[in-house]
Amino acid sequence: MSGMAGMAWTERYRPLGSGFPAAGAGLVGYTGGGKALAERFRSGSLHAPGLYYVDYLLGGKVLGDPVVGIVVGSDSDLPVVKGAVEMLEGLGIAWELVIASAHRTPDLAAAYAGNAAGRGIQVLIAAAGGAAHLAGALAARTLLPVIGLPVASGALNGMDALYATVQMPPGIPVATVAINGAVNAALLAAQIVSLGDEGCAARLAEYRRTLTASVEEKSRRLAAEGLEAYVGRRFKEH
């Protein structure tokens, strides 16, 4: 399911919360439509005391305030997280995205997690590579479910991030997906949101039906074309 690059949207910047100490801290917010605010912060054209996000329009209806909070430990994690954003948008789920490091900005990461539930966030996705303590650091500060997304980087290519994310002590769980498993992180978040949102549940069910139909179509094409022709076409296409 792809993102909605061609959708109509309108910017309506609003602070994430007066209790979040983002002023002058270099913590940059990203929007639900995927458009970074970083340049506006740097150029001074956006005068904001804290983090901001954007409501965006889909079919003439504002999706609403974000219910999924995505936190990345570094901007180098953004190419991986893009897959989660596209999936959430495809399911019509409003989200917000911020950069907050568990090591370089620990107070900011803790403050973000601490006030997320009060702003209507229902689930957090934490993406980090290397010594990936971000998901655990967020989970320690909130009762919201936290999904850990290990990012492949460095000499160990994500294995260090996987272990750091999944090996949580008893009492502070983190639901960890595969290395670079952004799509599944988004789907798991959507399943959590769907528990209280019938529309989201219906869209998830439809997504599952498209997966089933895709596999069935591949089976039909294999039977019709034969193994050699199918494999030749399949690998030529990709």
> Which tens digits make up the pLDDT trace of 69-124?
999 998 889 899 989 988 998 898 988 888 889 999 898 899 999 999 988 899 99
Number of domains in the chain: 2
Please state, in angstroms and rounded to a whole number, the distance separating the CA atoms of residues 238 and 233: 9
Contact between 95 and 32 (Cβ < 8 Å):
yes
3-state DSSP assignment of residue 68: strand
Please state, in angstroms and rounded to a whole number, the distance separating the CA atoms of residues 198 and 157: 39
Query: For residue 105, what is the domain's CATH number?
Result: 3.40.50.1970
Instruction: Enter the DSSP assignment of 98.
Output: E
Which pTM does this prediction carry?
Answer: 0.77
pLDDT for the residue numbered 38: 42
Q: Are residues 159 and 46 in the same domain?
A: yes
Q: Are residues 72 and 100 in the same domain?
A: yes
Q: Are residues 213 and 182 in the same domain?
A: no
- Of 154, 148, 204, the closest CA to residue 180 belongs to 148
Domain membership of residue 78 (yes or no) is yes
Domain membership of residue 34 (yes or no) is yes
Q: Are residues 130 and 237 in the same domain?
A: no
Structure tokens at 155: 């000499």
Host domain of residue 230 = 198-238
pLDDT truncated to tens, each residue of the chain (238 aa)? 233 333 333 333 344 443 333 333 233 344 333 344 444 434 444 333 344 443 333 333 445 678 999 999 988 898 999 899 889 988 989 888 888 899 998 988 999 999 999 888 999 999 999 999 999 999 999 999 999 999 999 899 999 999 999 999 999 999 999 999 999 999 999 999 999 999 999 999 999 999 999 999 999 999 999 999 999 988 886 5
Q: Are residues 179 and 202 in the same domain?
A: no
Domain membership of residue 4 (yes or no) is no
CA angle (2, 189, 168) in 5-degree steps: 130
Contact between 126 and 149 (Cβ < 8 Å):
yes
Q: Are residues 187 and 236 in the same domain?
A: no
